[in-house]
Chains A and B, each alone.
Chain A
Amino acid sequence: MRLEPVAAILLRQWYLLRGSPVRALPMFAWVGIDIVLWGFISRFLNTVSGAGINFTTVFLGAVLLWDLCGRVMQGLTTAFLEDVWSRNFLNLFASPLTISEYVTGLVLASIATSVIGLTVMLALAVPVFGLSFFALGSHLALFLAVLYGFGVALGILASAMVLRFGPASEWLVWPIPALLSPFCGVFYPLTVLPQWMRGAAYLLPPSYVFEGMRALLAGRPFETLPALGALALAALEIALAAWYFVRVYRRAVRTGLLARYSAETVS
């Protein structure tokens, strides 16, 4: 893999963000609204509940981590969609740029933009609502790695879906995080789920993160092995998503869809 083409994809994202504040706004506006909303809900629940649970850490921490995962996915998908919207596929894929360089550039662009989102969320949640984010200690790094990994896998999968089913399918990919959240146990333990949903939850790495987070906050022992397994699962899902992307790309080259994609975007 060569550095310059990867840098080109990153540089393009930087140019777009610098040239259009409208693009920069969603990086922190929606996550900021989520933090404010859930911050007040958590504060209210703390005042009315006698359960002895710190809702700020349980709910607000969960919202923050889940939003981060969603931002990673959306950052990657948006960077890919920029090429759809600007009808740039022919210029890109008729160049020496390889698929691995292209996807690596998208992943790095997504990580960069999601770090900005994370910073904004922490800047609001910690001082304003008193979130003890770093109470999770060294496990936090593992949680973040799992969520970043899963977000990347979802972003690659979503991009492959748009490439496979056409520009209109972008409307199918935006709700993916919302569709998965009930299965991931963001706000509740997996034990409340029916058996079939729990089966699906075991395939989703974030479910291990939220289970682990609740265990830590409740003072229960943290099980390292499932969390490491979640990291391995996220890595496997990245590999599967990348395999699917390459498969869709090769099909598009074989059928001529890639060459006609721009024209179809126009129509």
Chain B
Amino acid sequence: MQAALRVRELSKSYGEVQAVDAVSFEVAPGEIVGLLGPNGAGKTTIINSVLAVLAPSSGSIRIGDFDVARQRARALARTNFAAVYASLPGNLTVVQNLRFFGLIYRVRALSRRIEELLAQFNLGSFQDTKCGVLSSGELTRVALAKALLNSPRLLLLDEPTASLDPAAARDIRATIRALARDGDCGVLWTSHNMYEVEEVCDRVLFLSRGRILLAGDPRALPREHGVRNLEELFISLAREPLAHPAEQLA
């Protein structure tokens, strides 16, 4: 089956600084891949490159059949994202934002799709409220509704539950898991909540200094490296960002 996302030898440098260094990975349809790493590891650089708002220094990115550099609009038509640092315009209401982005993504039967998403994310009572006055949790739900407008085949989520209470976060995790399972949507998920990652992700990539240090099943990796849980593994890797972390941990 064709990968939802295929990243090959992706590198990005800013002068002397190597933000991402020859990173390669894939996300299969229906798979949730966690992109983990300390601040400055290169996670956002990778996400921005996939979203075509940052040009890589070298390497290639394919979303489904489409090369992001050469077929940007077609690649992004089947992609969407939600990130804590990309809130929707606060001067438009929830419905206006969804209609605006729905037209940009050319969503068919847009009114019906908006109604579905308002119901799915329990946003009906806020539909005519300007996004600027919503709480951070409500804003996160609107951002996720926008991210699902076009039923994407690739979904990029940058800390999607950071502003949510535990109950709402659990609902969102269930929604995303169902979307991946039933809709064949590949998901690239970043989070600093290792318990969440362990619960949601099928596979994780540990990133440090722009390179992938480890990859594997988040439930098996801690045992394989002699630590109690994913959080301990994360801390070990973050403190010792060396070329061969497995040897350091052994």
Q: How far is the CA of A52 from the CA of B146 in the complex (A)?
A: 64
Q: How far is the CA of A4 from the CA of B104 in the complex (A)?
A: 6
Q: With an 8 A cutoff between CB atoms, is B7 at the interface?
A: no
Q: With an 8 A cutoff between CB atoms, is A96 at the interface?
A: yes
Cβ-defined contact, B53 with A87, below 8 A? no
Q: How far is the CA of A259 from the CA of B96 in the complex (A)?
A: 24
Which residues from 25 to 82 on chain B have a C-beta closer than 8 Å to any C-beta of chain A?
44-45, 48, 51-55, 72-74, 76-77, 81
Q: Which of B14, B45, B76, B92 contacts A94 (CB 8 A)?
A: B76
Find chain A residues with CB under 8 A from B51 CB.
Answer: 90, 94
Q: With an 8 A cutoff between CB atoms, is B126 at the interface?
A: no
Q: Could you tell me the distance in whole angstroms from the C-beta of B106 to the nearest C-beta in chain A?
A: 5
Q: With an 8 A cutoff between CB atoms, is A204 at the interface?
A: no
Q: Could you tell me the distance in whole angstroms from the C-beta of A135 to the nearest C-beta in chain B?
A: 43
Identify the closest chain A residue to B131 (Cβ): A86
Which residues from 91 to 112 on chain A have a C-beta closer than 8 Å to any C-beta of chain B?
91-98
Give the size of the chain A interface in residues (CB under 8 angstroms). Answer: 35
Find chain B residues with CB under 8 A from A5 CB.
Answer: 103-104, 106
Q: How far is the CA of A83 from the CA of B96 in the complex (A)?
A: 15
Q: How far is the CA of A213 from the CA of B90 in the complex (A)?
A: 45
Chain B's interface size range is 35 or more
Q: With an 8 A cutoff between CB atoms, is A11 at the interface?
A: yes
Q: With an 8 A cutoff between CB atoms, is A195 at the interface?
A: no
A-B CB pair tally, cutoff 8 Å: 97
Q: How far is the CA of A90 from the CA of B100 in the complex (A)?
A: 15
Q: Which of A15, A96, A254 contacts B96 (CB 8 A)?
A: A15
Find chain A residues with CB under 8 A from B193 CB.
Answer: none
Find chain A residues with CB under 8 A from B183 CB.
Answer: none
Q: Could you tell me the distance in whole angstroms from the C-beta of A14 to the nearest C-beta in chain B?
A: 10
Q: How far is the CA of A140 from the CA of B14 in the complex (A)?
A: 53
Q: How far is the CA of A4 from the CA of B146 in the complex (A)?
A: 16
Q: How far is the CA of A91 from the CA of B100 in the complex (A)?
A: 11
Cβ-defined contact, B85 with A8, below 8 A? no
Find chain B residues with CB under 8 A from A259 CB.
Answer: 44, 48, 53-54
Cβ-defined contact, B90 with A253, below 8 A? no
Q: With an 8 A cutoff between CB atoms, is A263 at the interface?
A: yes
Cβ-defined contact, A256 with B100, below 8 A? no
Q: With an 8 A cutoff between CB atoms, is A220 at the interface?
A: no
Q: How far is the CA of A90 from the CA of B99 in the complex (A)?
A: 17
Cβ-defined contact, A11 with B100, below 8 A? yes
Find chain B residues with CB under 8 A from A95 CB.
Answer: 76, 101, 104-105
With contacts A86-B91, A258-B53 taken as known, whether A2 is within 8 angstroms of B106 at the C-beta atoms is yes
Q: Could you tell me the distance in whole angstroms from the C-beta of A235 to the nearest C-beta in chain B?
A: 26
Cβ-defined contact, B99 with A256, below 8 A? no
Q: How far is the CA of A153 from the CA of B225 in the complex (A)?
A: 61
A224-267 vs B, Cβ < 8 Å mask (1 yes, 0 no)? 00000000000000000000000000100111101100110000
Additional 12 contacts, C-beta under 8 A, given A92-B104, A256-B48: A15-B92, A15-B96, A20-B91, A82-B89, A86-B91, A91-B146, A93-B53, A94-B51, A94-B53, A96-B73, A96-B77, A256-B54
Q: Which residues of B contact A (CB under 8 A)?
A: 14, 44-45, 48, 51-55, 72-74, 76-77, 81, 83, 85-93, 96, 99-101, 103-106, 130, 146
The 8 closest A-B pairs by CB, nearest first: A8-B103, A86-B89, A94-B51, A90-B86, A96-B77, A259-B48, A96-B73, A96-B76
Q: Which residues of A contact B (CB under 8 A)?
A: 2, 4-5, 7-8, 11-12, 15-16, 19-20, 82-83, 86-98, 250, 253-256, 258-259, 262-263
